[in-house]
Chain A
Amino acid sequence: MSIARRAVLAGAAALATGLSAGCDIPTERTAVWHPAPDVLLPLLQRTVELRDRYGEALTAFPALQDRLGPLKDDHAQHVIALAREIGLPEEGPFPQPSTSATALPTDQGAALTELVNLERKGREDAEGACLAAPSYRAALLGSIAACRAGHVEVLT
């Protein structure tokens, strides 16, 4: 008991003095000081990607502004709402996974097809999150899933 207790106290002392590198305190003793990332973080990250993909499409095909602009704005609203829910600053930056971004298709039709597929996947993503969510998050996630389903309707 005394060893475990000393380890915890030492861990606390190390944190208090800002020491971390080279410390021999076992990680399971110090992990308690670092909360796990929010389960919604991956959804937020994919929502940022979705928003930004619309941004790329609008840069490449400005004539699609009337059709795609409002959909991009919806995703931007989702980013803000999810960031707020997680407790991150609304404007980011958000920790993004290091994914290899593929180039947007150069053909407009192919780019739109890609967006439809992303919306379908995004809808399933948000549906799964809604069904697994605690009460207080279910309505937000349900609305995000419903919005993405509506986007598929707009794009097809």
Chain B
Amino acid sequence: MTTPADERLIAALQAEHAAIYGFGIAGPKLDGGTIGLARTAESAHRNRRDALIVRLAGAGVTAPAAAPAYQMPFPVTDRASALKLAVLIEERTAAQWRLALPVTAGEVRKLSLDALIDCATRAVAFRQAAGTTPVSVPFPGKV
């Protein structure tokens, strides 16, 4: 039986799968100044995914696999649309981690909070790179 916490972690894992796929799409459209940012982000999402799979397996929960492909919300054709996608990925992933906070405690809440903070910080970095204003939002992850 899955707990409410397990369900939120499964949703976070699905968001991480989509994030990794999305950076695979955005990466090739980025330039020297932003590709490093995207690589760091993708690697961070891979680490979160792996940590989640281990945690869910430890709880006896079957972790969902990644979908073969994910529908992009808009065509990713150039640097600007790739950065827009990167911001959106971080915002959506942040939202899933934020939803995990109320149903978790202790170590798992810490893991969720760290993930929310990381996603929000990268969203700021991608907004800065894209020249979007304002670069920060008052309540990251709140939708």
Contacts and interface: CB of A to CB of B under 8 A. Distances in A.
A114 interface: no
Contact of B113 (A74, A77, A145): A145
Interface string B102-139: 11100001101100110111011100100001111111
Given A130-B113, A131-B109, A146 B134 contact: no
A153 interface: yes
B39 to A, nearest CB: 17
A52 B102 CA distance: 30
A10 interface: no
Interface string A145-156: 111011111100
Given A131-B109, A139-B98, A149 B137 contact: no
Given A74-B137, A138-B102, A147-B137, A153 B124 contact: yes
B140 interface: yes
Contacts of A74: 136-138
Contacts of B141: 139, 142-143, 146
Given A70-B134, A73-B138, A74-B137, A149 B121 contact: yes
B98 A143 contact: yes
A123 B114 CA distance: 11
Given A130-B101, A150-B120, A153-B124, A142 B138 contact: no
B102 A135 contact: yes
B109 A146 contact: no
A11 to B, nearest CB: 38
A142 to B, nearest CB: 5
Contact of A149 (B98, B102, B120, B138): B120
Interface in A110-156: 123, 127, 130-131, 135-136, 138-140, 142-147, 149-154
A59 B59 CA distance: 54
A146 to B, nearest CB: 4
A147 B119 CA distance: 10
Contact of A153 (B101, B109, B121, B142): B121
Nearest to A144: B139
Given A149-B117, A153-B124, A139 B142 contact: yes
A142 B133 CA distance: 23
Interface of A: 70-71, 73-74, 77-78, 81, 123, 127, 130-131, 135-136, 138-140, 142-147, 149-154
Interface of B: 94, 98-99, 101-104, 109-110, 112-113, 116-117, 119-121, 123-125, 128, 133-142
